[in-house]
Amino acid sequence: MKIKKHIISQKEHQISRNAISENALKVLYRLKDAGFQAYLVGGGVRDLLLGKKPKDFDVATDAHPEEVKRLFRNCRLIGRRFRLAHILYGRDVIEVATFRGPHEGEKNSHADRNKEGRITRDNVFGSIEEDAVRRDFTINALYYNIRDDSIIDFTGGMGDLKSKTIRMIGDVQTRYREDPVRMLRAVRFAAKLDFRMEAETHALIFDLKHLLEDIPVARLFDESIKLFQGGYGRHCFHLLRDYQLFEVLFPITEAALNNVHSGTRNAPALVMIEQALNNTDARIAIGKSVNPAFLLSVFLWHPMLDYKQRFIDMGEHEMEALNSASREVITRQHAFTSIPKRLSLIMREIWHMQPQLQHPTRKRALRTLQHKRFRAAYDFLLLRQSMGESDLAIWCAWWTAIQTKTPIEQEKMCANLGNAPKKSKKYKKRRKRIIT
């Protein structure tokens, strides 16, 4: 790839040092003062140019990892595929990477590829020009120079920022083969920035999406979290489906979404996922925390129900079938995007509490209310009710009301549950009287 260096002076761009984190500036200045080159690079520069607030700041330098470690006592070296330095300031982490170089022609390159062309080890150091063409997209290859506040553009990234284009640097097929996760990153940036993909960057995803099957499932899980918990999850979801990538990450869910019932697609599953993603995006927008277990429990809810019915048809009792189905669907999903055990346990608790919330009893209602997963299970019930599931409105109202009561009032509400028979022709009317 031909490199044409373009320097954008401070007067020509809108980045102010005041917008850069104090800790990132500390790292840049210390590297500069020690005689090394040091640049702010990647998403931080891109977002600042777009008028957005970066979540983190990355630094590129000609200092090798061990040299960075000698400069910073608060440094730790990580990574096997490519050695990185993390400079720690409390919870704030500034990632420092040595300029990467080309693999070709390096006798002692410390770089390996598999038969598909994927880079499995990548400790090849080089110059800033070589580093620029090793990055994925042009808009992520812009370098902010701390020495004069200029921006250096080697790949036309400034032009692509202005035209709102996601463009791969270099030969697109080679770059996707080097790291198939770049396909997911392309989708994520397109959703996050509301950019369009350049023609070849777009088209080759359909031809090469199968390469993601060779990526470690733990890494695919991490990428999934970035896709769905970045504040633009619903847009990511629809783009992933458009590019046939969602079926690679969540094939069981995609199968449930495409189940044909009376000639139509499984709309309830789709609407439930969309609403959960809307809720997640809204929480992130106002700075609230989100737990990936809740969203995963939504993704796999309808597949779990399908498996539950299969186990019931095989003669299992409903709760036994629920246990079997939850284990089965999580085990199957684990083969595509691994789900940490701490999250899978929460998912199962959310699912297993649904019958308790739908059919509370006098003895168990208070224990259910005090359960550590009550709030997540209750939110899940509300989501199901908003999708139009029958007979849930009454109990959503009941559980909503009981949370506002004093302990004595809660005991009275639970005691009244005993007055409602489980089966009656006037079931709904009597349940309504219990609530009031």
Do residues 300 and 157 share a domain? no
Q: Is residue 177 part of a domain?
A: no
Q: What is the CATH number of the domain that holds 306?
A: 1.10.3090.10
Domain-embedded: residue 195? no
Question: Are residue 291 and residue 378 in the same domain, yes or no?
Answer: yes
Among candidate residues 56, 222, 306, 379, the one labeled active-site is 56
CA pair distance 379, 404, nearest whole angstrom = 16
The alpha-helical segments, DSSP class H, found in 229-314 are 233-242, 246-249, 251-257, 267-285, 292-299, 301-313
Domain at 45, CATH number: 3.30.460.10
pLDDT in tens, 297-349: 999 999 999 999 999 999 999 999 999 999 999 999 999 999 999 999 999 99
Q: What is the pLDDT of residues 184-221, one digit of tens each?
A: 999 999 999 999 999 999 999 999 999 999 999 999 99
DSSP one-letter string for 318-385: HHHHHHHHHHHHHHHHHTTS---HHHHHHHHHHHHHHHHHHS--TTTHHHHHTSTTHHHHHHHHHHHH
Q: Is 160 among the catalytic positions? A: no
Q: Quick check: is 46 in a domain?
A: yes
CA 20 to chain centre: 25
For the chain, what is the domain count?
Answer: 2
Give per-residue pLDDT as tens, 135-190.
Answer: 999 999 999 999 999 999 999 999 999 999 999 999 999 999 999 999 999 999 99
Does residue 130 share a domain with residue 259? no
Q: Residue 139 carries which side chain, given as an amino acid letter?
A: I
Residue type at 372 in one-letter notation: K
> Between the CA of residue 367 and those of 155, 372, 402, 411, 423, what are the distances in Å?
61, 10, 13, 11, 23
Are residues 166 and 252 both part of a single domain?
no
Contact (Cβ atoms closer than 8 angstroms) between residue 162 and residue 6: no
- From the CA atom positions of the chain, what is the Rg in Å? 26
Whether residue 209 lies inside any domain: the answer is no
> Is position 406 within any domain?
yes
pLDDT of residue 263: 47
Local structure of residue 213 (DSSP, 8 states):
G
Does any domain span residue 349? yes
Range of the domain at 371: 248-435
Residue 40, beta-bridge partner list: 59, 144
pLDDT of residue 72 exceeding 90, the answer is yes
Nearest CA among 295, 366, 371, 361 for reference residue 333: 295
| Residue ending a domain, choose from 119, 141, 170 | 170
pLDDT on residue 114: 59
Overall residue count recorded for the chain in this entry? 436
Whether residue 176 is contained in a domain is answered as: no
Measuring CA to CA, which residue among 230, 219, 216 is closest to residue 187? 230
Annotated catalytic residue 136 = yes
Q: Reduced to 3 states, what is the DSSP secondary structure of residue 166? A: strand
What are the beta bridge partners of residue 75? 87
3-state secondary structure of 299: helix
Q: What is the mean pLDDT of residues 21-32?
A: 96
pTM score of the predicted model: 0.86
pLDDT at 421 over 50: no
- Catalytic residue, from 136, 153, 160, 281: name it: 136
Q: Is residue 297 assigned to a domain?
A: yes
Whether residues 153 and 276 share a domain: the answer is: no
56 is catalytic: yes
Q: Identify the domain boundary among 152, 170, 188.
A: 170
Q: Which among 105, 136, 170 is the end of a domain?
A: 170
Tell me the pLDDT tens digit for each residue of 107-144.
444 455 555 655 555 568 899 999 999 999 999 999 99
Q: What is the mean pLDDT of residues 77-85?
A: 85
Amino acid letter, 381: L
Same domain, yes or no: 54 and 158: yes
